[in-house]
């Protein structure tokens, strides 16, 4: 982050400190901080240790179907220690199954993401607290690339009319959801400013695109909808939009944004005569434009 040097009085030079940093460490007027010099850098030390953000989930009386949502909500909220009390062995098994299936460590390889401690039907999750803004951007790009690959694989399998393999693509929606959850956690753990809300909405739209693909895969496989060249071209066009999006995300450019909006408007629709298929195809394109809108809010 960049800070300007200002004159204070006749002989003192000052810089301002980020409000979020002061709030995070509970610092205010009159508090002292330590400053050390390292090469050409000045390092600020708050002198205060932050306790990890903890929460407890008591599953007594909670339906098993809600456990996944509860764990996911605490994860996305940014809790670093999540203690789960299970009143039944069946719920304890379900908690372990959910943690095992999420495999979130695949997306945060640099951190020891989950430690599992099991005793007396209690599970304790220990998760990393700090993440960099660069890492958040990397995860968002990874999420977009996964959508691109999924679309590409679908076009290939659909062209070959491999209905079973098309249906199996639906399971990849879980990967999209996991990526989106990691992104949301990063945003909640390190809220920057108003931009955080825009990025949160942005990730939600990308997740919704994954949901639409899932419905299309199921529909195509179930009805064995044979594609025409125009149909395949329609999904190729969507991937071209994704490529434009990658470039805009890495290097914000208003002209490229205008190019993407025009390109989306001029794209033809598939010729498949199935209302559900067309509904989800239209939603994918709509959500891509909505992504663009929320992204612009963060960067303008």
pLDDT digits (tens, 9 = 90+) for 193-241: 545 677 788 889 999 999 999 999 999 999 999 999 999 999 999 999 8
Give pLDDT tens digits for 34-58: 888 878 878 887 776 666 778 899 9
Two tokens at 155? 């076009």
For residue 99, give every residue at least 6 positions away whose Cβ sits within 8 Å of its Cβ, in sequence order, or none: 71, 114, 116, 123, 125
98 vs 300, residue with greater confidence: 98
pLDDT for 116 beyond 60: no
Quote the pLDDT of residue 123: 78
131 vs 236, residue with greater confidence: 236
Using CB atoms within 10 Å of the CB of residue 72, give its burial: 0 to 12 exposed, 13 to 18 middle, 19+ buried.
middle
| 300 — pLDDT class (breaks 50, 70, 90) | low
Quote the pLDDT of residue 106: 34
pLDDT for 180 beyond 80: yes
Cα dihedral across residues 227, 148, 207, 110: positive or negative: positive
268 vs 195, residue with greater confidence: 268
Residues of the chain above pLDDT 70, percent: 85
Quote the pLDDT of residue 102: 65
Give pLDDT tens digits for 141-177: 889 899 999 999 999 999 999 999 999 999 999 889 8
pLDDT for 131 beyond 60: no
* Average pLDDT of the residues in 247-270: 83
Distance CA 234, CA 241 (A): 11
67 vs 199, residue with greater confidence: 67
pTM summary value: 0.70
Q: To the nearest whole number, what is the mean pLDDT of the chain?
A: 81
* Average pLDDT of the residues in 2-15: 78
| 117 — pLDDT class (breaks 50, 70, 90) | very low
pLDDT for 297 beyond 70: no
Highest mean pLDDT among 87-91, 183-187, 292-296: 87-91
pLDDT for 112 beyond 60: no
pLDDT for 137 beyond 90: no
């Amino acid at each position: 982050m960049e800070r300007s040097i200002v004159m204070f009085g006749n002989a003192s030079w000052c810089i301002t400190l980020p409000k979020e940093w002061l709030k995070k460490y509970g610092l205010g007027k009159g508090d002292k901080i330590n400053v050390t010099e390292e090469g050409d850098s000045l390092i600020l030390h708050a002198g205060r240790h932050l306790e990890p953000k903890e929460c407890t989930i008591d599953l007594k009386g909670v339906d098993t179907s809600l456990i996944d949502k509860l764990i996911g909500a605490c994860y996305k909220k940014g809790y670093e220690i999540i203690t789960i009390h299970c009143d039944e062995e069946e719920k304890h098994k379900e908690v372990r199954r959910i943690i095992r299936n999420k495999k979130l460590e695949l997306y945060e390889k640099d951190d020891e993401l989950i430690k599992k401690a099991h005793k007396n039907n209690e599970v304790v999750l220990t998760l990393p607290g700090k993440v960099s803004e660069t890492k958040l951007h990397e995860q968002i790009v990874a999420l977009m690339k996964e959508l691109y690959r999924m679309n590409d694989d679908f076009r290939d399998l659909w062209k070959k009319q491999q209905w079973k393999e098309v249906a199996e693509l639906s399971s990849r929606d879980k990967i999209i959801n996991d990526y989106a959850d990691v992104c949301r956690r990063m945003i909640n753990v390190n809220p920057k400013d108003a931009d955080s809300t825009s990025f949160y909405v942005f990730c939600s739209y990308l997740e919704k695109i994954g949901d639409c693909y899932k419905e299309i895969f199921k529909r195509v496989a179930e009805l064995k909808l044979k594609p025409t060249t125009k149909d395949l071209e329609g999904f190729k066009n969507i991937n071209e939009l994704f490529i434009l999006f990658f470039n805009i995300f890495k290097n914000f450019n208003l002209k490229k944004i205008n190019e993407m909006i025009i390109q989306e408007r001029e794209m033809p629709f598939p010729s498949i005569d199935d209302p559900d298929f067309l509904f989800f195809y239209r939603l994918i394109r709509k959500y891509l434009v909505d992504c663009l809108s929320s992204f612009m809010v963060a960067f303008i």
